[in-house]
Amino acid sequence: MPKFMDIHRNMKGLTAEQLREAHQADLDIQGEEGVTFEHAWADTDSGEVFCLSEAPSADAVQRIHERAGHKADEVHQLTLSV
């Protein structure tokens, strides 16, 4: 299953509780698209959130994020990994 890194920008000041809730909203529906979100990390100073997932496609990742209320700004398929 391909891996993906997606990026959400302009999230400065995000709290731990907000990140947990947003991530849980993804987890609650990810199975409907065959997506597995593995980690989410935030740089709360500059406002980026990075999500690592396994999924059948970038569109599947984006559909889950959109339905959960937080569309990603970029979704990258990770074609190489070390």
Which residues make up the interface to its own copies (CB under 8 A)?
Answer: 3, 5, 14, 16, 19-20, 23, 39-46, 48, 50, 76-82
CB of 72 to its own copies, least distance (A): 13
Place of tokens 């999500």: 51
Q: d(Cα 82, Cα 69) in Å, to the nearest integer?
A: 32
**Nearest CA to 23 among 1, 6, 2?**
6
CB of 63 to its own copies, least distance (A): 19
CB of 34 to its own copies, least distance (A): 20
Q: d(Cα 54, Cα 61) in Å, to the nearest integer?
A: 9
Q: Looking at beta carbons only, is 42 or 68 nearer to its own copies?
A: 42
